[in-house]
Amino acid sequence: MPEEETSRAPETDEAAAAPKAKKRNKKWVVPTVVVAIIVVIGVGFFAWHNTPGFCNSVCHSPMDTYVESYSSGDQGMLVTAHAEAGLSCLDCHEAKLNEQLTEVIAWSSDTFTTTADGHLVDANVDRFASPETCLKSGCHDWNDVVDSTWGFDGNDAKYNPHSSHQDGSVQCSDCHKSHETSTLYCAKCHDMNLPEGWEATTDAA
């Protein structure tokens, strides 16, 4: 009898150890699920953050005006060409933490000002239609722009707003408006065909 009890003892120890091993394996299930959920939410938020809808999901005023112009199809607005090319807000408006914090503070304290048509009054708005922004890597190539705009929109072949007698004094933003109607600066002096949806600059020559 003693010999039988001795031979059965190891089996009893193994049987007792099995539930403990299972418990140790189960304790990683909950943390793994939590981490997976956080990753999925993070990826989803990042994807949403890159869409126009994110901009006015919280900051309805003044972002509604800009998001509406993105999907308006108005050929007079620069944003339409970018939207049709599959570009989104962050392709031009680089997300910088310090700027975003300033914007959140301005929105939450209601200290931003807008024009009658809902656009932000921003002294630095022209920086988005500038050579620094438009000609950055992966966007427009200046030589291609110049080559493709001789005699644009059926005008005389001698006309090219990107190679004009203004000697570089005309900036991108003098003509190209992202969320407003673009204006042809050259039409202040010259009788020219306008691109679809554009207006002639009305400023005095």
Domain boundary among 54, 85, 113: 113
Two tokens, residue 89: 């807000």
What is the C-alpha to C-alpha distance for residues 144 and 127, in angstroms, rounded to an integer? 21
Quick one: pLDDT at residue 47?
67
Quick one: pLDDT at residue 104?
74
Residue 9 lies inside a defined structural domain of this protein: no
Residue 63 lies inside a defined structural domain of this protein: yes
Residue 91 lies inside a defined structural domain of this protein: yes
What is the C-alpha to C-alpha distance for residues 179 and 120, in angstroms, rounded to an integer? 11
Place of tokens 């120890």: 13
Domain boundary among 94, 113, 132: 113
Place of tokens 């989104």: 88
Domain boundary among 64, 86, 113: 113
Quick one: pLDDT at residue 164?
85
- Residue 95 and residue 137 in one domain: no
| Whole-number average pLDDT of the chain | 78
Q: What is the mean pLDDT of each run of 10 residues along the chain (205 residues)?
A: 51 55 67 81 68 64 82 92 88 76 75 77 67 87 94 94 84 88 91 93 62
Place of tokens 């931003």: 112
Quick one: pLDDT at residue 157?
93
How wide is the angle at C-alpha 22 spanned by C-alphas 17 and 28, nearest 5°?
135
Quick one: pLDDT at residue 11?
54
Two tokens, residue 83: 């939207």
Residue 18 lies inside a defined structural domain of this protein: no
Residue type, 2: P
Quick one: pLDDT at residue 171?
85
Quick one: pLDDT at residue 76?
93
Query: Residue 101 contacts by C-beta under 8 Å, 6 or more apart in sequence?
Result: none
- Residue 190 and residue 146 in one domain: yes
Q: For residue 154, what is the domain's CATH number?
A: 1.10.1130
What is the C-alpha to C-alpha distance for residues 178 and 80, in angstroms, rounded to an integer? 8
What is the C-alpha to C-alpha distance for residues 130 and 172, in angstroms, rounded to an integer? 5
pTM for this one?
0.62
Q: Where are the alpha helices (DSSP H) in 27-171?
A: 29-49, 52-55, 60-70, 78-84, 89-92, 97-108, 131-134, 142-147
- Residue 71 and residue 130 in one domain: no
